Amino acid sequence: MILADNLKTYFQLVFALRNFLKETLSLEQCKEIVKKRLEYRDKNFIEIVKRNIYENEKSPYLKLLKHAGCEFGDFRSCVLREGIEKTLERLHGSGVYLTYDEFKGRKEVIRGGKTFRFEQSDFNNPTLSHHLTVQTGGITGPGVEAAIDFRSYTQTAVHRGILFDIYELWNIPFAIWFPILPGSAGIGYLLHSTKVGKVPSKWFSQVDREYIKPSFKHKFRTNGLIYAGRLFGISFPKPDFIDLNSAYRVARWVSQMVRDYSGCFIATYPSSAVRICLAAKDNSMDIEGTKFIVSGEPLTSVKRDEIRSIGAEVIPQYSFTEARTVGFGCAEPAEIDEVHLLKDSFALIQNKRKIPYTDLTVNAFLFTTLLNRAHKILLNVEVGDYGVVKSRKCGCGFEDAGLDVHIHSIRSFEKLTSEGMNLAEVDLTRIIDEVLPQKYGGNSTDYQILEEEDTEGLTHLSIAVSPGVGEINEKDLVKTILEELRNRGGTMLIRDVFSQANVLHVKRIYPISTKRGKILPLHIDKQRYSS
């Protein structure tokens, strides 16, 4: 029965992939599609909400809308009268929104004395087929699984064509350095770029399938995708395992491309880009002119400067698995990580709120999907990030395409990030409060997780251990944390990447207190994360 199901899945995958690969999108088509979406933005939004929410009795948002007393006629009138963003702000004020933990299914949703409980699968787009399943890279706690329909990749590929044009990437080779399935970034770049006629030359993966042991389903679909693509005449690259301490191997490929083609570009995490540049320096390799498209963790000034120091260029991309890419780097930026919101595909409002474990108040992002093939339906969903949102004239190609909303100083207030792997605070808190005191002594205020960036731009997580705890085996403590991350719902992916990169370090210092004298499980550098 299992074999029959897998064969059925394989043939469905192959058939869908064949249809996906039949035609590529030209640059002119990409621009025209974005133009039409912006022209009919309000109308499209109304239709999506009608079909996926008001006509879907299982929709979590329908329950919130009914509780708020918002019927479809009311919703439609408000959008036509005041526009999408004003409508979303009104809905937020009426309790129609979800916090990060509510969307993840970690917390009950309480609005006006009424309690709701939702699961992550409740937010899947009911109109899509499940050709692929991807997962957020390294989130501990309940993993975010998302079923992907190739038609959704067709809808979201259009921005890739515009990006390649703006940054003159069409005539140079490119590589991916992202993990294999179930990670979403690598497969996303493979399919998006192929749809606009740009197939990657190489796919490097930070993790080895023999180590993380992906499920049979993921192996089956990955291999099926690659070999089916080749069968249909597309030279999909097979993932090549390059661990983080062997970045010189990627740098060597880059330097060869620079010699042969006068440049190349690589899609990867900011920390992995820094590792390539450091390896090139250490091995006297010329990679000047290389362009890095980076996502998955904050692009800081230190990381940017390290990449630029070797003559390379960095292009930020703002993405998260629940929505995929929501912004691409401005070609005339005023800020380090400035991106253009893909407002033909997403609406964005902000809500002022306090960051847990700090004294900071920030403007949190709440996203709403505007595409009918979006794999997750989002309606005022908080994603754990904040930053600055504003409209300005920059003169770059994204503005010419009608994408005039800019986002910058993007940071997370719900998770710490290192090497592209995200840690949900709820899991770290349990480790700090319960596991470490029980095993090594002391109490919860004797331990703290700190996110720090070294002088080379690499991000590390330090474990502050109070000197009062006494002697401890630091290697054993790090091992305990890695095992606990795995045991508490994380993945082998996160443990492997963190082990390779030597991310976790023990510091025998007293945990840092807030202005109010509190010792909290996580400490965020206010200067680094202020916007």
Strands 522-523 and 447-453: parallel
104 CB-side CA count, 13 A: 21
Q: Which of 83-97, 238-252, 422-436 has the highest mean pLDDT?
A: 83-97
In this predicted structure, what is the pLDDT of residue 506?
Answer: 87
Q: Mind listing the pLDDT tens digit for each residue in 208-245?
A: 655 555 566 666 667 778 888 888 889 999 988 888 77
235 in Cβ contact with 271 (< 8 Å): no
Q: Is the pLDDT of residue 113 over 60?
A: yes
- The CA distance from 364 to 383, in Å, is 8
Task: Tell me the β-bridge partners of 318.
Answer: 327
Q: Is the pLDDT of residue 167 over 60?
A: yes
In this predicted structure, what is the pLDDT of residue 357?
Answer: 54
Q: Mind listing the pLDDT tens digit for each residue in 449-487?
A: 887 766 666 666 788 898 989 899 988 988 888 777 766
Q: Is the pLDDT of residue 2 over 50?
A: no
Detail the DSSP E strand segments found in 413-493. 415-418, 421-424, 447-453, 459-465
In this predicted structure, what is the pLDDT of residue 517?
Answer: 45
The pLDDT confidence band at residue 8, using thresholds 50, 70 and 90, is low
In this predicted structure, what is the pLDDT of residue 491?
Answer: 47
pTM here is 0.81
Q: Is the pLDDT of residue 443 over 70?
A: yes
Which of 466-475 are b and which e, b meaning 16 or more Cβ less than 10 Å from the residue's Cβ? beebeebeee
Task: Tell me the β-bridge partners of 460.
Answer: 452
Average pLDDT of the segment spanning 425-451: 77
Q: Which residue has the tokens 């400035």?
A: 338
DSSP string over 231-298: HTT--PPPPEE--GGGHHHHHHHHHHHHHHHS--EEEE-HHHHHHHHHHHHHTT---TT-EEEE-SS-
Backbone dihedral angles phi then psi of residue 414, each to the nearest 5 degrees: -115, -10
- The CA distance from 112 to 118, in Å, is 17
Q: Is the pLDDT of residue 494 over 80?
A: no
Q: Which of 104-113, 140-149, 223-232, 323-332 has the highest mean pLDDT?
A: 323-332
38 CB-side CA count, 13 A: 17
142 in Cβ contact with 489 (< 8 Å): yes
In this predicted structure, what is the pLDDT of residue 527?
Answer: 43
The pLDDT confidence band at residue 101, using thresholds 50, 70 and 90, is confident
Backbone dihedral angles phi then psi of residue 363, each to the nearest 5 degrees: -95, 95
How many residues are listed for the chain in this entry? Answer: 531
- Ordered structural domains, the chain, with CATH: 1-127+339-413 (no CATH), 169-321 (3.40.50.720), 421-529 (3.30.300)
CA angle (327 as vertex; 30, 410 as ends), nearest 5: 175
The pLDDT confidence band at residue 516, using thresholds 50, 70 and 90, is very low
In this predicted structure, what is the pLDDT of residue 128?
Answer: 77
In this predicted structure, what is the pLDDT of residue 14?
Answer: 80
Q: Which of 237, 266, 226 is nearest to 250 (CA)?
A: 266
12 in Cβ contact with 131 (< 8 Å): yes
In this predicted structure, what is the pLDDT of residue 125?
Answer: 87
Q: Is the pLDDT of residue 131 over 60?
A: no
Read off the tokens for 361. 């108040």
- Specify the higher pLDDT residue, 424 or 352: 352
Q: Is the pLDDT of residue 359 over 80?
A: no
Q: Is the pLDDT of residue 5 over 90?
A: no
- The CA distance from 407 to 337, in Å, is 8
159 in Cβ contact with 198 (< 8 Å): no
Q: Which residue has the tokens 């390290």?
A: 306
CA dihedral in degrees (260, 262, 268, 273; nearest 10)? 100
In this predicted structure, what is the pLDDT of residue 140?
Answer: 30
Read off the tokens for 386. 């904040």
Query: Among the listed ranges 142-146, 280-284, 403-407, which one has the minimum average pLDDT value?
Result: 142-146
Q: How many Å is the Cα radius of gyration of the chain?
A: 23
Average pLDDT, the chain: 84
- The CA distance from 531 to 528, in Å, is 8
CA angle (417 as vertex; 416, 418 as ends), nearest 5: 135
Q: Mind listing the pLDDT tens digit for each residue in 367-402?
A: 999 999 888 999 999 998 889 999 999 999 999 999
The pLDDT confidence band at residue 249, using thresholds 50, 70 and 90, is very high
Backbone dihedral angles phi then psi of residue 522, each to the nearest 5 degrees: -120, 140
Q: Which of 135-144, 189-198, 433-442 has the highest mean pLDDT?
A: 189-198
356 CB-side CA count, 13 A: 16
Q: Mind listing the pLDDT tens digit for each residue in 301-348?
A: 888 999 999 999 999 999 987 888 999 999 999 999 999 999 999 999
Query: Among the listed ranges 23-32, 462-471, 500-509, which one has the minimum average pLDDT value?
Result: 500-509
Q: How far apart are the first and last CA of the chain?
A: 54
In this predicted structure, what is the pLDDT of residue 518?
Answer: 47
In this predicted structure, what is the pLDDT of residue 503?
Answer: 64
Read off the tokens for 212. 């993380």
In this predicted structure, what is the pLDDT of residue 134?
Answer: 56
In this predicted structure, what is the pLDDT of residue 224?
Answer: 75
Q: Is the pLDDT of residue 498 over 60?
A: no
- The CA distance from 266 to 254, in Å, is 9
Q: Is the pLDDT of residue 27 over 90?
A: yes
Average pLDDT of the segment spanning 156-182: 93
In this predicted structure, what is the pLDDT of residue 160?
Answer: 96
